Chains A and B, each alone.
Chain A
């Protein structure tokens, strides 16, 4: 087991290295650098000035030098303004060390965000926290509902209940976040508000907020958090439910279930005491692997509902050509994906005694 985890960690590190290099290459492509230089120098500066800005700040060094600097295995040199001879930091809103230092991701320095005009380190934690809260509530809503649907559908394969629940879960996998988001806002925010304003029988405050912006400033409530959580949960429910159903249906045909039934146990007892435990091993992997999927959902949901978390930041970074922030977001996302993969593998081995990882 130990050597398995060690090997997986090795592959993980290699994957991370490769992916970060790819992202680094793409964010540092020529058009992006040009835009950055135009933005950082005077708007009307000549091409030569832009070029000298890029060269001075190390964007014209070799790929591996730049990448090493970002990682923190190559020293960062202080930038000297050729006109004044003074130290001029790359971006004026982030301080830089006056002496050469190793300062990169390994040292915990994620660089400087040009979109937010501050260091990445000062923005990342709060964005991650906001998204963590959202993800937590999505999981709380999504997993029990999905497991319940899956178990109910799978316990009597081919029954009416199974048919209708299966169609419902298929429909849910066909509803991406930008579809459900739009429909939910129209129905539960605008529609309910219209009902509350127009009709007296409708409870006065029974409608939801189509924006989750207040969730960060005033704390989360049913009013501002229901719709984003629901939007993200819907797309995931169908997938987990179908996996659970398949797993449950397989378990229900097993010999030991028949034995338990023949022993005279009630259907209820058989399902709850005998089938459920074995049927829930497979969905565990699926649920863990949902995290990377949720990542795309987070970006969409946070854009629709104006919730300033990680996804919102990623969009702001990518559309504002914010090189360091895109790199950091990419790194965080990749780490999340790899860690969940690792946990799902290890967890699966623990849950299923038939699998022994060597």
Chain B
């Protein structure tokens, strides 16, 4: 079999990644031109640590966006002769190279790594966002009211935090559990929290302007419920509903407007497990921040004006606690990426064909694979590490920049 050699592989990879380079150059040009007006985002490029962090993150964002163009093969394309092929081996029919070699099922590792970042970048930020909204919704009252509410909510958070993550995953993300109620109940309620959060937010803000309030509330609830119904419309859930005589709800979920996008039950499980594992951490941070911000004068001023507690929490406290929260969000997306990798590594939730990095590392880290065909495990491992590193560097720079002012 023909081989490109080391430099051939490097040039091949650089060449295949052309959309990413164009994207990065465009971003750099824009930042260079408009830096004074970009605020915090522009300041990120002041030092080399920040530049490297943003570049790595953007690299993977562009790679996820253009994965179809970058990847020479599909995620499931098997070419029998390329089984465990060495990096740089050229596939005879298409004259394309397996730049990072072939895996144990004769698929192109490079293509799978590129598609894999799509899986991660779809789930990790979304799960982090939901975890943040859940953590904020519970952390605000715990910090603000204190007393019994705080004690109860903190106990619950500590309960989840004392639960070993790995056991939680094994209990929540097994195939058998999809036939039972808990994932749907937990998923359903977690997805409801954002709707409640934004409704309360607009309600407290526009309570005195009924027309504006009506518009905002209707929009929030309509869009929220539509998305909620879409997310819940998995086949197994509908089957489950039919079995307990809630067939009308099931057929409503099957109705086409509520079936436009959706996630499979195993993805719902992953989502629930990840959100569940990381929201107590957010809760603790928010609670601590609220305890600090609560003592400020502007909160006392709002209380004297007679504002409602939820207005003070959502519109006075939260915006003033945003700095540490943004930093934590960056770190937490990285941590979620690691959690997703852990799930894949133990073969939980993701399908066996799934191109996510964790599953690839699992397949590549079998003793024989690791000894003879090291690229199968090393390529996704480095990809995952670089993404998390980029996010951590970004978070570190954000923290430094926010401390500066």
Are B342 and A178 in touch, CB under 8 angstroms? yes
Q: Are A178 and B164 in contact (CB under 8 A)?
A: no
Q: Which residue of A lies closest to B181 (CB)?
A: A29
- Residues of chain B touching chain A, judged by Cβ–Cβ distance below 8 Å, are 49, 155, 158-159, 162-167, 170-172, 174, 176-177, 179-180, 182, 334, 338, 341-342, 345-346, 358, 361-362, 364-365, 367, 370-371, 374, 377-378, 381-382, 384-385, 388-389, 391-393, 396
Contact residues of A between 172 and 187, Cβ < 8 Å to B: 173-176, 178-179, 181-183, 185-186
In the complex, the answer to whether A31 meets B176 with C-beta atoms within 8 Å is: yes
Q: Name the contact of A181 in the complex, choosing from B159, B163, B365, B382 (C-beta under 8 A).
A: B365
> Once the chains are docked, how many angstroms separate the CA of A179 from the CA of B388?
11
- Nearest CB to that of A315 among chain B residues? B346
Task: Report whether A183 and B378 are in contact in the complex, using a CB–CB cutoff of 8 Å.
Answer: yes
Q: Which residue of A lies closest to B171 (CB)?
A: A26
- Closest residue of B by beta carbon distance from A191: B374
Does A75 belong to the interface (CB within 8 Å)?
A: no
Q: Name the one of A29, A182, A306 contacting B381, with C-beta atoms under 8 angstroms.
A: A182
- Chain B residue at minimum C-beta to C-beta distance from A213: B367
Measured CB to CB, the closest approach of chain A to B329, in angstroms, equals 16
Whether A329 contacts B167 by the Cβ 8 Å rule is yes
| B residues less than 8 Å from A166 (CB atoms) | 396
Shortest Cβ-Cβ A-B pairs, 10 listed: A31-B176, A318-B170, A174-B388, A174-B389, A26-B171, A333-B164, A179-B381, A182-B377, A186-B374, A337-B162
Least distance between A194 CB and chain B CB atoms (Å): 10
Evaluate contact between A176 and B342: CB separation under 8 angstroms. yes
**Which residues on A sit within 8 Å (CB–CB) of B155?**
11, 14-15
Whether the Cβ atoms of A178 and B358 lie closer than 8 Å is yes
CB < 8 Å: which of B159, B334, B341, B381 contacts A183? B381
The reply to whether A304 and B365 contact each other, CB–CB distance below 8 Å, is: yes
Number of inter-chain CB pairs below 8 Å: 133
Chain B neighbourhood of A74, CB < 8 A: none
Does any Cβ of B come within 8 Å of A278's Cβ? no
Q: Which of A57-65, A93-101, A291-299, A349-357 contacts B (4 or more CB under 8 A)?
A: A291-299
Contact, CB under 8 Å: B166 / A182: no
Q: How far is B358's CA from A31's CA once the two chains are assembled, in angstroms? A: 26
* Contacts A30-B180, A35-B176, A182-B361 given; does A170 touch B396 at CB 8 Å: yes
- The answer to whether residues A176 and B341 also contact, given A186-B374, A190-B371 and a CB cut-off of 8 A, is yes
Selected A-B contacts with CB under 8 Å, 11 pairs: A18-B159, A19-B162, A22-B163, A29-B182, A175-B388, A178-B345, A179-B381, A182-B381, A183-B378, A326-B171, A337-B163
> Is there an interface contact between B370 and A182, defined as CB atoms closer than 8 Å?
yes
List of A residues within 8 angstroms of B388 by Cβ: 174-176
Docked pose: A14 CA to B388 CA in angstroms? 36
Partner of A299, one of B166, B172, B393: B166
Asked if B384 and A326 sit within 8 Å, CB to CB, the answer is no
Shortest distance in angstroms between B390's beta carbon and chain A's nearest beta carbon? 8
Contact between chains at B381 and A19 (CB < 8 Å): no
Known contacts A300-B345, A311-B166, then 16 further A-B pairs from the complex at CB < 8 Å, ordered by chain A residue: A26-B172, A29-B180, A31-B177, A170-B392, A175-B388, A176-B388, A179-B385, A183-B381, A185-B365, A185-B370, A189-B371, A210-B370, A300-B342, A304-B365, A319-B170, A334-B162
Asked if A341 is an interface residue, CB under 8 A from chain B, the answer is yes
Contacts of A295 in B (CB 8 A): 164, 166
Question: Closest residue to A238 on the B side, CB-wise?
Answer: B392
Of the candidates A167, A304, A319, A334, the one whose C-beta lies within 8 Å of that of B164 is: A334
Q: How far is the CA of A166 from the CA of B365 in the complex (A)?
A: 30
Taking CB atoms, residues of chain A closer than 8 Å to B358 are 178
Q: Among B164, B182, B361, B367, which residue has its beta carbon within 8 angstroms of that of A330?
A: B164
In angstroms, Cα B338 to Cα A11, docked, is 31
**Interface check A171, CB cutoff 8 A:** yes
Closest chain A residue, CB of each to CB of B393: A170
B364 neighbours in A (Cβ, 8 Å): 182
Which residues of A have CB within 8 Å of B338? 176
Which residues of B lie under 8 Å from residue A27 when comparing CB positions? 171
A193-221 near B? 1/0 per residue, CB < 8 Å: 00000000000000000110000000000
Interface residues in A282-312 (C-beta closer than 8 Å to B): 292, 295-296, 299-300, 303-304, 306, 311
Q: Does A155 contact B (CB under 8 A)?
A: no
Q: Is A338 an interface residue (CB 8 A)?
A: yes
Q: Are A32 and B370 in contact (CB under 8 A)?
A: no
User: Is A314 engaged at the interface, CB distance under 8 Å to the other chain?
Assistant: yes
